Each structure stands twice: as structure tokens, then as C-alpha cells.
Amino acid sequence: MSYERVRAVDPEIADALVAERERQNDTLAMIASENHVSEAVLEAQGSELTNKYAEGYPGERYYAGCEHADTVETLAIERAKELWGAEHVNVQPHSGTQANMAVYLAMLDPGDKILSMELEHGGHLSHGHPANFTGQTYEVEQYQVDPETGYIDYDALAAVAEEFDPDIIVSGYSAYPRDIDFERIQAAADTVDAYHLADIAHITGLVAAGVHSSPVGIADFVTGSTHKTIRAGRGGIVMCRDEFADDIDSAVFPGGQGGPLMHNIAGKAVGFKEALQPEFEAYAQQVVDNAKALGERLQEHGFSLVSGGTDNHLVLVDLRESHPDTTGKDAEQALESVGIVLNANTVPGETRSAFNPSGIRAGTAGLATRGFDEDATRTVADLIATVVDDYDDEAVKAEVTDRVAELTDEHPLYE
């Protein structure tokens, strides 16, 4: 895309769009929640469907002229059902947060109780944080990972559940590097007669490809984002059993949203079709293999990883032991300056602040999309270690900047 038509109207925005494309091409996107969609998904998202109002659902719209919107949404739903094996799917949530909101709206009353993972242990704002509507509307209690092992403390979770008696237990995380035992969390929910929402926002693609265990068929509700490991463009999705279909659909629309973003739903449909191809399984396996390679090489360089490693697409580095004077922000900024883009992150038992925490989180979904294998990923780990070890040394950073440029040239994006 040349953005010529944007440029004719609005050169400032055209400049920013071109610069963003170059930024994405010339840097390593290792923010664990990001990925690069295909040009097919981009094109679908840029389609005329952005003009269309389609309030309602396929075959039952509040507006005329929805026949093609119906085709698109029906295909998106069918493909999602096939990908995740869900009985009922709603593809209209504008984001992962909106998907979670739909479940809370459908199943809870204000003042009801949510039990979820603490944010600094890997939870998400939309799981009950005081700055989010969930923390303001519901009563929230939190569980944690085991401070020794970094794994979810399932026994402690079950004990908190018995004590707190929640209406819903939320699983699924933003910064948890390990596989999740959804059955144990379901068992804790069953004991206290609570619903179980499994929010697989980060791992939708890994679950679809079968390289991470699936909560579908176990948890009552499964929500996800469509722009992370599943690579289908920005948005959210809710899955549930047929018994909750009507409740969920009316909570999405009109409960929490107006008209669906039909152009984004077209992007989801195209991305889901791509994810149904056999190559996607190989991609997801590569993501996981690369994360292992990244983690192991960082450990060889002396870094400690929360939980000692990874089963999924991300590693969470706790800098406190190996680099006690380096904060997550120091590392994030130094790495950004050489073209390695990841984020500072809190770690379990955080001793600094949410804004300047003690860890960094790095994901491999974006790099695997542009063809990085384990070897190339180990090279990236070497570069990360070099920069974090010597982040005030401009000569070191200049050298790493050149190495990053070589890597991005070898693995171009959007040729």
C-alpha cells in the first residue's frame, strides 16, 4: 500500500502511516500481544464494509442492505467454530476487553463477585482492576502465582474460591509463560458453583493450532482477542455453549456495543481461514519453539525467567537477580533504541512500580510470522543480552542496531 490516496487528502497522516510501516519492517516486534497480519487481512479490514451498519446478527439485522455483511459474519462464525471447536461464537466484540465485558454483562449483576489473577502476576485490567469498569462494578478478589515457582498456585486458588465464594472465576493471562490447567480451575469453580471465564486473548492462535491446551468444552465462557497469536486483525471474540448463546449475543449487542465493525469482522474471517490451513499449525509450533530458544539462550546469558522457562509464546524476565540496578524501563528503552521493541512488565513479588517494574516481557509471535526460526531467535537473545548488559555504551548499541538491521533485511515484512 502506497497511501497515495491518503497523501492526496492528508499528507501528515500519510507520512505517519508510511513511517509506521517502515518502523514495523525495520524493528523486531517482540511485544507479546502483537503480531503482523497478512496483506489479505489488511485489505479486508480496509474494505467498504466500514461504511455498513449491521446492528443485529446474520439474518436478523435492524438495517437493510446487510446481505454481504451476513455472508462475511456467517463465514467468520463458522470458521471460528471449526478453529476452536466451540458450540456458539460471537465475532462482534470490538476488542478483547469488550468480549470480557459481554460475559460479565450477561452473567453478573453489579456487586457480584469476580475471582481473578492479580495484575502484577499476569492478570488483565478487564479482570477486575480498580481503574477498569470491572473493578468499579463488581467485588473483586485475586489469586496469584506461587512466588517460589512462578506457576499458578491452583491449591491456593481453590482455597480463595472457597473463602470468597465468587460468581465467576477468570482464568487466562497477559504475562503468564506456562500452560494453563483449565480443568483444575474449572474444578475450583464447580466446587463453589461459580462460572468460569477462560480469557485466552494471548494464546488464541496457540489453542487453535493445538500447541496449548484448550479451555473450550471445559470453561463456561471462552473469550479472546483476534489480533494476537491468531493473527486475524484487531478485535475480540466470545465462545460458549449453546445454552448461553442468547445471553451472550444480547450482552454484546445491544448490551455493550452498537453496530459491529463489519470491516474488522471481514479481517477476522480472512485470518481465521488462514489459520485453518495446515501451515498455521507449523507457524504456531515455531512460535513456541522460538520462545523456548529465546528463554534458554537468555538463561545461558545469566537472566532469570519467571517460572524458569516457557510453554507458550512469551518469556517473562525478572531482572532483579542478574541486573539489580537495571529496571524494566531501562531495558525497554535501551532495547527500543536498537530496534528491539518489547515492554517492561511487572513480575510476581514486584518491588518497584507498575510504571517502572522489574521485568521485561518478550514474545515470539511477530518474529515467527516474518520467518524467524530458533537460530535467528537465539541471535536475538544474544543481542538482547548484549544491550541489557551494557545499556549505557553507545558503541555497543550502534553495533547491535546494525545487527538488527541485518536481521530485519533478511526477514522482510509486507514485501
Ligand X SMILES: *Cc1c(COP(=O)(O)O)cnc(C)c1O
Distance of CA 154 to the CA centre of its chain: 23
Query: Rounded distance, CA 391 to CA 348, Å?
Result: 24
Shortest Å distance, C-beta 33 to ligand X: 5
Determine the interface stretch with ligand X among 147-155, 168-176, 307-315, 371-379 (rule: CB under 6 A). 168-176
DSSP 259-292: S--HHHHHHHHHHHHHHTSHHHHHHHHHHHHHHH
Task: Among 36, 79, 113, 124, indicate the residue that binds ligand X (CB under 6 A).
Answer: 124
Query: Rounded distance, CA 202 to CA 173, Å?
Result: 7
β-bridge pairing 88-90 and 221-225: unpaired
Is the peptide bond between 147 and the residue preceding it cis, with omega within 30 degrees of 0?
Answer: no
Task: Among 150, 172, 267, 363, indicate the residue that binds ligand X (CB under 6 A).
Answer: 172
Determine the interface stretch with ligand X among 5-13, 17-25, 171-179, 384-392 (rule: CB under 6 A). 171-179
Shortest Å distance, C-beta 199 to ligand X: 5
In the bound state with ligand X, the residue whose beta carbon lies nearer, of 150 and 172, is 172
Which amino acid would we find at residue 273? K
Contact call for residue 88 and ligand X (CB under 6 A): no
Which amino acid would we find at residue 31? I
- Return phi, psi of residue 249, to 5°: -60, -40
Shortest Å distance, C-beta 308 to ligand X: 22
Residue where the block lists cell 517502515: 22
Taking CB atoms, the residue at the shortest distance from ligand X is 96
Angle at 286 between CA 229 and CA 318, to 5 degrees: 70
Determine the interface stretch with ligand X among 6-14, 89-97, 275-283, 307-315 (rule: CB under 6 A). 89-97
Contact call for residue 132 and ligand X (CB under 6 A): no
Report how far apart, in Å, the C-alpha atoms of 139 and of each of 71, 128, 167, 343 are.
41, 8, 10, 30
Decide: 38 and 1 in contact? Cβ < 8 Å: no
Window 226-255: contact mask with ligand X (x via CB under 6 A): ----------x-------------------
- The C-alpha cell of 304 is what? 532469570
Contact call for residue 204 and ligand X (CB under 6 A): no
- The C-alpha cell of 289 is what? 519453539
Contact call for residue 202 and ligand X (CB under 6 A): yes
Contact call for residue 307 and ligand X (CB under 6 A): no
Task: Among 76, 140, 201, 262, indicate the residue that binds ligand X (CB under 6 A).
Answer: 201
Task: Among 92, 97, 264, 327, indicate the residue that binds ligand X (CB under 6 A).
Answer: 97
Which is nearest to 347 in space by CA: 335, 336, 361? 361
Contact call for residue 196 and ligand X (CB under 6 A): no
In the bound state with ligand X, the residue whose beta carbon lies nearer, of 3 and 151, is 151
In the bound state with ligand X, the residue whose beta carbon lies nearer, of 98 and 386, is 98
Contact call for residue 95 and ligand X (CB under 6 A): yes
Interface ranges with ligand X (CB under 6 A): 33, 95-97, 124, 126, 172-174, 199, 201-202, 225, 236
